Structure 1
Amino acid sequence: MSDVEYFASLPRTRGAASALLLDELDRVLLVKPTYKAGWFLPGGVIELGESPLTACLRECQEELGLVPDLDGIACFDWAPPEGEIDATNVWVFAGRISAEQIARIVLPPDELSDHRLVPRDQIPDLAPPHIARRLAAILAAGGRPVYLEDGTHPRVPAPRPGTP
């Protein structure tokens, strides 16, 4: 088997990237898609050959009409398969959004119907449970990047005695 055949035979996972954008009052920018219920972070699918950061910036440009300044990775979350949807690797990048940028937001009407700045305590009322869990874990980390599985910290087994 050639290297090309071997790599073609390996399982694949989907990727998504989103932006956690906070304003000067530490409110979270959420957007409301037209094609599904609930409020989400701006972002979307990582296209073939695209890096997670490039996808996040592209999606922000497409969804908000602007490219935010991002500070770095806030979270990597493994989303398990659900029904016909494969597992998804979700990258969340953090940044700030100014009042001037917020005033310039232009939503694509066929994709997003609204946006709003949401205080942290109101996120569970608006976002689907998996998004609310993810955001709660990210915001509780105080700027430290977090690894999650389905929006929660996985239980990492303790090393066995005698292992490095």
Structure 2
Amino acid sequence: MTSEATPHAGPGVPVAAFDLALPRKRMASTVLLFDDLDRVLVVEPTYVDFMELPGGSVDLDESPRQAAIREVKEEFGLDRDPGRLLAIDWVPPRPGRSEGLIVVFDGGRLTVEEIAGIRLPADELRSYAFLPAAEAAQALPDLLARRLLSCLEAQEAATTVYLENGSLTG
């Protein structure tokens, strides 16, 4: 869909100008990580007053997978493949936030050695915990709880799901 304010690609309109005029969305990558008891890793950031799932913003010219690798390294000091894609979640705009796309990867189980080696960045994370899925969902804001539960269902079914605001559509 185009508007008068958005240039149309076509004769006389350079593709670069058209590209720069397109809307932009914020994007983040989340990695679901588990311990050997299938408990979900949740984190307590220093910059908000609620628990979150590991991950963060995708930087300019960075793929969601690269962001997942970087975030796990920055947040926990771990070099891990983010695993398979579990979900893409479109989050609508809300007060103080633009719309966004959140990509969720299945990070798998951390070994006892990996867990023992976790080093949190003091300026970013206060703490972390491994919680049973139901407790993790209760500890998270509603949107993140819905996303987590949808992703756990996708993991169980060995599928990838499309979510809107944390919930399955259609």
Fold in common (TM above 0.5) = yes
Residue of structure 1 equivalent to 2:153: 140
Cα pair 2:68 2:82 within 8 Å, conserved: no
Percentage of matched positions with identical amino acids: 40
The reply on whether 1:103 has 2:116 as its aligned counterpart is yes
* CA gap 1:5/1:69 in 2 versus in 1, 3 angstroms: closer
RMSD of equivalent CA atoms: 1.1
- 1:19-54 per-residue CA deviation (whole Å, 9 max, x = no partner) reads 101121111111110111221111100000000000
User: How far apart are residue 70 of structure 1 and its match?
Assistant: 3.1
Helix, strand or coil: the match of 1:44?
strand
Report the Cα offset of residue 69 of structure 1: 3.5
- For the pair 1:88 / 2:88, whether they are aligned, the reply is no
Q: What are the within-5 Å matches in structure 2 for residues 8-157 of structure 1?
A: 8-96=20-108, 97-141=110-154, 142=156, 143-155=158-170
In the alignment, structure 2 segments of 5+ residues that lack a partner are 1-12
Q: Distance in 2 between matches of 1:66 and 1:91?
A: 19
Q: Which residue of 1 aligns with 2:10?
A: none
How far the C-alpha of 1:85 sits from its partner, in A, is 1.7
3-state secondary structure, aligned to 1:115: strand
User: Gaps (5+ residues) in structure 1?
Assistant: 156-164
SS in 1 for 2:31: strand
Aligned pair count?
155
Q: Which moved more, 1:53-62 or 1:67-76?
A: 67-76
Under a length normalisation based on structure 1, what TM-score does the superposition of the two structures give?
Answer: 0.90
Q: In structure 2, how many angstroms separate the alpha carbons of the residues matched to 1:95 and 1:56?
A: 9
Give the letter aligned to residue 26 of structure 1.
D
